[in-house]
Structure 1
Amino acid sequence: MSRAQAYRLMKARGEKIVVLTAYDAPTARDEAEAGVDIIMVGDSVGTNVLGYASEREVTLADMAHHIAAVRRGAPGAYIIGDLPYATYDTPEQAQESAARLAAAGADCVKFEGARLDIVRALKDGGHDVCCHVGLESQHQAAKRRQGKTAQTARKLLDDAVALDEAGQDFLVLELIPRELAARITETLHAPTIGIGAGAQCDGQVLVLHDLAALGRREYKHNRRYGEIGAALRGAVAAYARDVREGRFPAQEHGFSLAPEELAAFEKGFS
C-alpha cells in the first residue's frame, strides 16, 4: 500500500489528517516530532520567507531548495510540494517540474486549477498528485472567498469530481463555503484538505507563520496558537539592549586562558 493510499484509509475511518506548512529543516523536524501527518512546502514560502510580493515570483529552484531542507529536517515525513506558477502549463512541462521536486524530496506535487490533463500526466509519471481549487493564489490576484453563489459552487463541485476521476490523491479546498466543502468531501474518494473551508474536510492545513503569529496579518480562517513573532521581537530587543549597555556577554559566556598559559602569553609583551 502506498503512503497516499494510507491517507485514503484515514478518510474512510473518519480520522482527521493534520497538515502544516514548513520551509526549513528545524521547523520540519519540530512538526514531525509534534505529530503532523503531512508537511506542505507551499509557494507561500515566497511571501512568508523570501520577501516576494506574491506567490507568482516563486521559482522551481526556490521550491526545490526548500523541499530539500524540509526533507533533511524530517526524513520520514510525507511531503507535498507546490509546483510554482508557470511551471505546469503543459503536461510535458508539468512532468519535468514534478521530477525536479521529487528529486529534492517531495512525495507528492500540488498544482492549482481543474487541469485534468496535468493530473493524468503526473500520475503517468509516477507522482502522487494534490490538486487545489477555490482560492488559487497563483492565478487570482484578489484573495477572496470562492463559490459564494449556487452556480459557482456547482462548478467547483463538478471540477472536484472531475479531478477525482482523473486520479488525484488529495484535494485542497481553500476559502469555500463549509456546505460546499462538506458536499465535495463526502463525494470524493480522495481526501480533502481544507483551509478556510469548514470542519467537514478530511484534513486541515494552515500556514505555520499564521498559526504561530510569525507574520503581522490576521485571517478569519486562521487560529493563532502562539505569539512567536512577538516573543522573537522581544528577545531580539532585549539582546540589543544588553549589548549596548554592556550586560552581554557576561563572565559566564566566555572563557579564559589557564594561568600558566596567560603568563606565557603576557611574557611576550614584557
Structure 2
Amino acid sequence: MSKTARFFEMKRRGAPIAVLTAYDAPTARAQAEAGVDLILVGDSVGASMLGYESERDVTLADMRHHIAAVRRGAPEAVVIGDLPFGSYDSPGAAVASAQSLIEAGADIVKFEGAHLAIVEALAGASIEVCCHLGLEPQNHLEKRVKGRSATDASKLLADALALDGAGMKLLVLEMIPEEVAAEVTRAVKAPTIGIGAGRNTDGQVLVITDVLGFGPKNFRHNRRYQNVGQIMVDAARAYVRDVHDGDFPAEENLTHMAPEELELFLRVNA
C-alpha cells in the first residue's frame, strides 16, 4: 500500500504537511504524539548529532542505525530515509542502498539531484521516492540560495517536471525563492516540502535540532521554538554543582537495607 497517498490527498485539499527530522527513538516518539505528518531521518544527522564536518561524511550504516531507532520510537509513522552521499552513484547502487534503508525501517527514500534513471529504477523496484532540488547539501559545498536567476529557476522547474514524470512521490525544495517554489508546486503532481522555500509549498520541514535551539547558530529559514541547548547546559551545570557540594544523591534518591538484614550482613562480614 502506498505510504504517500495521504500526502497527495493533502495536496489536493490544500492541507499543509508538517515534516520534522528525527534521529532517535525518544524524539520520534514525541513527534508522533505531537501529530507530525512525516518524519525525515536526514543526513543532517551527521552535523546535527554525530559531530561530522558535513553531510558527505554520513554512511549507509549511520543512516540504517538512526532509521531503525526512529522506527522503534514511532512504529506507525511514515518515515523518509536519506540515501547518503556516494550510495546512489548508479541506478543499481541506488536500489541496493534504498532496499537497505527500507529493511532498517524507512517507508520512502530521498536523494538529491535530477537523476531520472535513479527515480525510474527505484520506482521499478516498488520503492517510493522523495527527490530533493534547490540547495543540495551533499553536492553544494557553498550553502546559499539557489534558483535566483530566471535561467536557474527555469532549470529547476524543468528538473522538477522531469522527476515528476519519472515517478517521484514527494519533492523537497531547499533554499530557493518563494516565487520559484510556488511555480514548481503548482506544476508538479507530487507534494512539495519546503525548507527555506517560502509559504507556497505543500508542506514544510525543519531540522529538529534547529527547532529546539541545540546550538547558538540560528538560520533565517528556521523558527526556534525552544532553547534546549541552554536548558541542557543549565541542567548539567546544576548537576555538577550538586555533586560537588554533596547535595546529590539525597535521601529521596537512596535505597536502604531492612535493619535486620543490615545487622546480619554486618555480623557475617565482621
TM-score, length of structure 1 as denominator length: 0.99
CA distance in 1, matches of 2:43, 2:185: 24
Residue in 2 that maps onto 1:11: 11
> Shift in Å at residue 215 of structure 1?
2.3
Residue in 2 that maps onto 1:223: 223
Contact 1:161 1:187 in 2 (8 A): yes
The gaps in structure 1 that reach 5 residues or longer are none
CA distance in 2, matches of 1:152, 1:269: 81
**Secondary structure of the structure 2 residue equivalent to 1:3:** coil
Contact 1:178 1:197 in 2 (8 A): yes
Contact 1:48 1:215 in 2 (8 A): no
Considering only aligned residues, what root-mean-square deviation do their CA atoms show, in Å?
0.8
Aligned amino acid, residue 20 of structure 1: L
CA offsets per residue over residues 39-95 of structure 1, 9 Å max, x none? 000000001111110000100010011001100000000000000001101000000
CA distance in 1, matches of 2:147, 2:134: 7
Residue in 1 that maps onto 2:256: 256
**Secondary structure of the structure 2 residue equivalent to 1:97:** helix
CA offsets per residue over residues 92-113 of structure 1, 9 Å max, x none? 0000000000000100000000
CA distance in 2, matches of 1:123, 1:51: 33
Aligned amino acid, residue 109 of structure 2: V
Contact 1:38 1:80 in 2 (8 A): yes
**Does 1:132 pair with 2:132?**
yes
Residue in 1 that maps onto 2:113: 113
CA offsets per residue over residues 6-64 of structure 1, 9 Å max, x none? 21010000000010000001110000000000000000000111111000010001001
Residue in 1 that maps onto 2:24: 24
Residue in 2 that maps onto 1:80: 80
Residue in 2 that maps onto 1:202: 202
> Shift in Å at residue 267 of structure 1?
1.4
Contact 1:123 1:129 in 2 (8 A): yes
**Secondary structure of the structure 1 residue equivalent to 2:193:** strand
- Identity in percent: 57
CA distance in 1, matches of 2:203, 2:67: 21
Residue in 1 that maps onto 2:49: 49
CA distance in 2, matches of 1:237, 1:139: 39
Write out the 4+ residue segments of structure 1 that deviate beyond 6 Å after TM superposition: none
CA distance in 1, matches of 2:222, 2:29: 23
**Secondary structure of the structure 2 residue equivalent to 1:126:** coil
Aligned amino acid, residue 155 of structure 2: K
> Shift in Å at residue 268 of structure 1?
2.8
Matched residues, number: 270
Aligned amino acid, residue 232 of structure 1: M
